[in-house]
Chain A
Amino acid sequence: MNEPIETDAGPVDQTSFVDVIETILGRPELDEELAIRLRSVTEYLRQPDDTSRPFLSVLLRTQGKRIEPLKDAMLCLAAQTLQDFELIVLEHNALPVDVAGVREVIERQPPAFRSRIKHLVVEGGTRAKPLNEGIGAAEGHYIAVYDDDDLVFANWVEEFRDAAIRGDGRLLRSTVATQSITPEIWPDRSEGFRTGSWPAAEYPVEFHQLEHLLVNYSPFMSWAFPRSLFFTFGLRFDEVLEVCEDWDMILRGSLLCGVEEIESLTAIYRRWEGGSSSYTIHSIDAWQKSEKRVLDRIDSTTLTLPPGSVERIRELVGFHERMKHFEPIFRGPYLWFPLRVTMKFAGPAAHLAVRVRNRIRRLLVRAR
């Protein structure tokens, strides 16, 4: 039995509160957006006791085509220092043979881990569809998304849990490195890959809300989203988006709930070179359309920005004001192109010049 809700007017029994909402929901003239929010509230109130939940639900998307990277991803989860999580494997648009392959990988996991894995097969829709199915099945206080070809360090879940203690209800963000891999057949003939670079910490350590409006520099597994984002505020991944579904949720979620930062590198985002990825499968047109949809939606709503944003906006507007005399250079077709070319070659040319200078100096020293 859930505890009564404390209000200014005294405790209110949750069952009766749900009844009130249900009555409101029954009104035909009810605003559709409000109805969505109210349904989320009733869903939330009907949830089982929170103490039985795992801390984290990990949504792992796969198409079952990359079994070897999937095995890596699963091993990283099995080796987490904090095992207070469930794993929901979301197999999207997979062939029966690939479904069987994923099922076998799951069945081979150690029993204590295997018992916390759900396997959902999802047909149709965009990349957002399996995520929404996963959210529907998720029991965790927080929800994180992890693709089948990425890696996490042993402290990934633990760092999220520690951050949730500090900033419960906010989105949690850690730092992620990138690493290149290329497809390769391994000695035992399995379809593997070759790692081609040391993990590079190329994304900003700090999260800046305004800069994130320009581009997403926080890969999916940097984040853990609070359950309330989906079950109280009623957000879902946008299934119209072909790509950028992560950026969309990060922007909407961070603007709504705020962000708790984690000063730790907790994962590796693997970039395929020569294989297929979201960058190669989807057209430039699809990327542009998705990006526009994400930004249009954000731009059509009232935003609450985090502390420090006013100063940052003033800086940006002030800079823009000072640069406006140069605007024709950047906007016009004739000056911008040569300027861009010059900028592109300026760095390497300067580097070459320094090397030549140093070589001449060394030769002169030797000659003396």
Chain B
Amino acid sequence: MAEARRLVVQSVLYANSTEDIVRAGLAVINSVSWARDAGLISSWVLRLGDCSPEPVFTEESISPLRAAVEESGGEISYTVFGANLGSAAGQNRLAAAGDEELMLILNPDTQVAPDTLSVLARAVREDIGIAEARQVPLEHPKYFEPQTGNTSWASTACALTTREAFDSVSGFDSATFFLYCDDLDYSWRLRLAGYRVVYEPSARVFHDKRLTITGDWPAGAAEIYYSAESAILLAFKYSRNDLVDSLVKAFTKEGSEPGLRAVAEYERRKASGALPTQLDGDHRVAQFINGNYAVHRY
């Protein structure tokens, strides 16, 4: 049997409701308990970093969650960052606060299933750098190999990565990505470093996403803007200058405010020499397919 490893579960908060975070925390406690019973996890810590304008928790309001984590044999830390660092920088800050061998990156608007930690902890072995849990009720459409789980990239709505893999690529690229595509970039750099990125469908996580009554995705303003900005920066970073040009042209022609802002931000970085170092020059890893970053099943 494999040796039990130490775990950190880390979430970056931004104006979430305390009720949601506590419920997410209780689900984590349950899932970790089963993984500990199975001998997969030794000690564990729940590490929360708060980017909200006003702290989500007071000492008093966090005390029920603290009590529950401690009762389960874990530890909890809650750090108020005092600024909106974004997901990439927030996760890096949380990661720097410990040295646990396993790191579960988890969105605060999620709820893990009882066996999620066990499945992911079993999966993350040897050459696997990160394993992604399947999201319900809206599953991501990217393709994965049925036998191996190999996939293009792992969403960090809920994904388990190893400290070794994380350190080997220096964590998330927070200088380039604020909110979106930081997980994509992390996955691709892991693959360039020789790790596998896998999708574990039997590890499930509920992610509170909803559809409009006509079945459409209701994208928010931040999602639209940061997706546009990240699309250009990701294309640049993975040596697809042709795609950068076509995205800039398309956003400029379209003339929407988020698109124009994204182009302006790219131009600003270009002028100030703040663009990332280009990678994957022979296009081994990065996939840009019809606006997606993987082959999609649908």
Contacts and interface: CB of A to CB of B under 8 A. Distances in A.
Interface in B126-158: 136-139, 141, 145-149
A186 interface: yes
A188 interface: yes
B123 interface: yes
A351 B65 CA distance: 59
B201 interface: yes
B113 interface: yes
B204 A71 contact: yes
Given A109-B30, A197-B298, A187 B146 contact: yes
Interface stretch (A27-35, A74-82, A85-93): A74-82
B26 A201 contact: no
A268 B30 CA distance: 26
B270 interface: no
Contact of A199 (B113, B200, B215): B215
A265 B212 contact: yes
A110 B26 contact: yes
A200 B137 contact: no
Interface residues of B, number: 39
B275 interface: no
A68 interface: yes
Interface string B199-219: 011101110101111110000
B110 to A, nearest CB: 8
- Please report whether the interface of chain A is mostly helix, strand, loop or mixed according to DSSP: mixed
Given A151-B136, A152-B137, A265-B213, A188 B111 contact: no
A223 to B, nearest CB: 16
Given A108-B34, A201-B213, A188 B202 contact: yes
A76 B137 contact: yes
A198 B200 contact: no
Contacts, number: 110
Interface string B271-298: 0000000000000000000000000011
Interface stretch (B114-122, B165-173, B186-194, B254-262): B114-122
A262 to B, nearest CB: 9
Contact of B136 (A76, A105, A190, A205): A76
Contact of B297 (A154, A196, A200): A196
A198 B148 CA distance: 23
Nearest to B19: A81
A263 interface: yes
B137 A151 contact: yes
A71 B146 contact: no
Contacts of B214: 201, 265
Contacts of B200: 186-188
Most B-side CB within 10 Å, residue of A184, A192, A265: A265
Given A109-B30, A195-B139, A198-B141, A78 B215 contact: no
A68 to B, nearest CB: 6
A198 B298 contact: yes
17 contacts: A76-B206, A105-B114, A110-B26, A110-B29, A110-B114, A112-B26, A151-B136, A187-B123, A187-B147, A187-B200, A188-B122, A188-B202, A195-B141, A201-B213, A201-B214, A265-B210, A268-B137
Closest 7 CB pairs of A and B: A201-B215, A108-B114, A79-B206, A187-B149, A151-B137, A79-B111, A110-B30
Given A79-B111, A187-B147, A195-B298, 9 more contacts: A76-B136, A79-B206, A79-B208, A151-B137, A153-B137, A184-B146, A192-B201, A194-B146, A265-B215
